[in-house]
Each structure stands twice: as C-alpha cells, then as structure tokens.
Amino acid sequence: MIIAIDGPAASGKGTLARRLAAHFGLPHLDTGLLYRAVGRIALDRGLDLDDADATADIAEQLDVAELDEARLRGREMGEAASVVAAHPKVRKALLDLQRRFAHQRGGAVLDGRDIGTVIAPGAEMKIFVTAAPDIRARRRHLELERRGDAPSFEDVLADIRKRDIRDAGRADAPLKPAPDAHILDTTALDADGAFDVALALVTGASRGAGARNASS
C-alpha cells in the first residue's frame, strides 16, 4: 500500500507519516528533505537559490543515502526548500527518485506537498493534513525553541503565510489536496489524535481493498 500524506508547513504531516510507517512496517520518505538538501548544498556552495539551472544540477546528483537530516532542519532550510521547490527543473529532477521510492515492493509512506497529486496519484490512501496558520506557526515556534533557534512568533507566522502563498501559487505542482484525498484538520488535534484518525482511515481502506479482492 502507498500512503500519500500532503499538507502545508507545520501541519503535522511529517510526524503522522513517520508514525504510520512505523505502525505498518513500511519505509518512509520525507520528500521535503530532498528539497532542503538541494537548498543546503546550494547555500554551502554560495549559489543563488533562485538559479533554477544550478539547483536542478544539484537535484540530479542528489543521493538519498547521504542526506544529513540534522543539517536540513530549521527555519532557514524550510525557507530554502520552498524557494528551490518552485523551480520546475528541480521538481522534474527529483520526480523519478520519489516515484521509485513510492512504488517499491510492499509499498511506502511519503509526505510532502504533491505526493497524492503528482508523485503517486494512484496511492491507495491519500491524506491532506492541514491546520489554521496561527496554530501551525505556534507549533513551529515551539519546535524551533527546542532547537535553540527561536525567532519571534510573529516572524514564524509571517514565514508560514509566505510559504503557503508560494507553495499554493507555484505553476508546477502547486500545493492542493488530491480530489480523492481525505482532509485531516489538526487544528484541534494533538499528534495522538491525528494518528488515531489517520489510522482508522488507512485500516478502513485496507479492509475495503481486502473485501474487493476476496469477491473478485
């Protein structure tokens, strides 16, 4: 089974995807890390994040096995990822890598911005995770505080809103729910509550698929 988890920044999709992957024993890919890695390498090399050709060259040579997650977290890298993800050439370079991961034997869980719409439109389960911008900003602010990287709440909220506009407005693979995605609003849910809802959705889909296979 392929489980596609999409949603805006700080909606809780990454935490949810990791928990679902662990529960079902499936490999997990946070596709946002790929774009963060492209941004990180570009910055390390002193390149302009708006340079579509240079960042696409980085994306074409990216090795998932060499991702250093510790260096890819934080506010700066989230912003960098949003910038490079707006380049169609970068998205194209990373497309096959993500699709191969999604369609590996046994299935996988992927989270990002366009999993259910572009990467794996045939996924058996699609969940679009969202929450009010101020709630997402509060979560991200607390996360950054724990890492010792604490801008003001107002700055984090402004960053969240800017990324929402950029992600939803880009010409290539804009952030939006797939037509058949389940919308999971986590505004009033904690991580456990969101997981319970998502688990019920996935379990229900699995049972439905099993029943169809048995009758065919």
Burial class (CB in 10 A: 0-12, 13-18, 19+), 148: exposed
Calculate mean pLDDT across residues 194-210: 85
Residue 64 has what pLDDT?
A: 82
Q: Which of 66-80, 128-142, 150-164 has the lowest mean pLDDT?
A: 66-80
Residue 43 in contact with residue 50, Cβ under 8 Å? Answer: no
Instruction: Look at 126-135, 162-171, 204-213 and tell me which has the smallest mean pLDDT.
Output: 204-213
Task: Judge whether residue 23 has pLDDT over 90.
Answer: yes
Q: Residue 7 annotated as binding?
A: yes
Asked whether the predicted pLDDT for residue 36 surpasses 90, the reply is yes
| Helix or strand holding residue 6 (H, E) | strand 2-6
pLDDT of 93: 92
Is 17 annotated in some ligand binding site? no
Cα distance between residue 177 and residue 97, in whole Å: 22
The answer to whether the CB of 112 falls within 8 A of the CB of 30 is yes
Q: Is 13 annotated as a binding residue?
A: yes
pTM of the model: 0.85
CB atoms inside a 10 Å sphere around CB 153:
16
Whether 171 has a pLDDT exceeding 50, the answer reads yes
- pLDDT, residue 75, reads 75
Task: Give the angle subtended at the CA of 171 by the CAs of 165 and 175, to the nearest 5°.
Answer: 50
pLDDT band at 213 (very low <50, low <70, confident <90, very high): very low
Q: Is 216 annotated as contributing to ligand binding?
A: no
Dist. CA 125–CA 178, nearest whole Å: 11
- Residue 10 marked as a ligand binder: yes
CB 6 within 8 A of CB 56: no
Task: Give yes or no for residue 216 having a pLDDT over 50.
Answer: no
For the chain, the residue count is 216
CATH of the domain at 40: 3.40.50.300
How many separate domains does the chain show? Answer: 1
More confident residue, 47 or 150: 47
Domain interval for residue 31: 2-215
- pLDDT for the residue 27: 96
Q: Is 12 annotated as a binding residue?
A: yes
Dihedral over alpha carbons 81, 87, 89, 94 (to 10 degrees): 30
Per-residue pLDDT, 209: 58
- Res. 71: pLDDT tops 70: yes
Residue 27 among known ligand-binding residues = no
